């Protein structure tokens, strides 16, 4: 069945350093969504990418959809302690018609 792999699983950075998480699929995707979950909180929708090669920015966050629509990345420039949390990608399954969440990348930021 369709799988989505997210790497790395954990990342510790010094405040001010950049951070990137990657989401890779075994099949071509129609779209991809990104969510953020703060420690002790619930997942919150960040953005959806639909077009091949699409790049979207939200302040210090840059989201990219691969040209082949099989992978995506989330890049945070100059991390801050408020960026701490787990970032999930989610893709629609062509088999089940449901959203499949990646395992998440947990970001820790040292002040």
Partner 1 sequence: NAGVTQTPKFRILKIGQSMTLQCTQDMNHNYMYWYRQDPGMGLKLIYYSVGAGITDKGEVPNGYNVSRSTTEDFPLRLELAAPSQTSVYFCASSGASSTDTQYFGPGTRLTVL
- 11 interacts with partner 1 by CB under 8 A: no
- 42 interacts with partner 1 by CB under 8 A: yes
- Rounded to a whole number of angstroms, the minimum distance from the CB of residue 18 to partner 1 is 24
Output Rg (C-alpha) for the chain, integer angstroms: 13
Which of 45, 53, 57, 58 lies at the binding interface for partner 1 (CB under 8 A)? Answer: 45
Cβ pair 91, 4 in contact under 8 A: yes
- 104 interacts with partner 1 by CB under 8 A: yes
| Residue of 41, 18, 35, 43 lying closest to 72 (CA atoms) | 35
- Vertex 97, ends 25 and 58: CA angle to 5°? 55
- 21 interacts with partner 1 by CB under 8 A: no
Q: CB under 8 Å to 81, separation ≥6 — which residues?
A: 15, 109, 111
Which of 17, 20, 43, 73 lies at the binding interface for partner 1 (CB under 8 A)? Answer: 43
- 62 interacts with partner 1 by CB under 8 A: no
> Which span (17-25, 43-51, 52-60, 70-78) binds partner 1, by CB under 8 A?
43-51
C-alpha–C-alpha distance, residues 51 and 53, integer Å: 6
Which residues of the shown chain bind partner 1 in the complex (CB under 8 A)? 30-31, 33, 41-45, 48, 88, 90, 92-93, 97-99, 101-104, 106
């Amino acid at each position: 069945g369709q799988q989505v792999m997210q790497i790395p699983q954990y990342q510790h950075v010094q405040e001010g350093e950049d951070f990137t998480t990657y989401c890779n699929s075994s099949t071509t995707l129609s779209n991809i969504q990104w969510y953020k979950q703060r420690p002790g909180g619930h997942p919150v929708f960040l953005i959806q990418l639909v077009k091949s090669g699409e790049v979207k920015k939200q302040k210090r966050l840059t989201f990219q959809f691969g040209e082949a629509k099989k992978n995506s990345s989330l890049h945070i420039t100059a991390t801050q302690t408020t960026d701490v949390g787990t970032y999930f990608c989610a893709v629609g399954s062509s088999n089940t018609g449901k959203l499949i969440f990646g395992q998440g990348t947990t970001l820790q930021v040292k002040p």
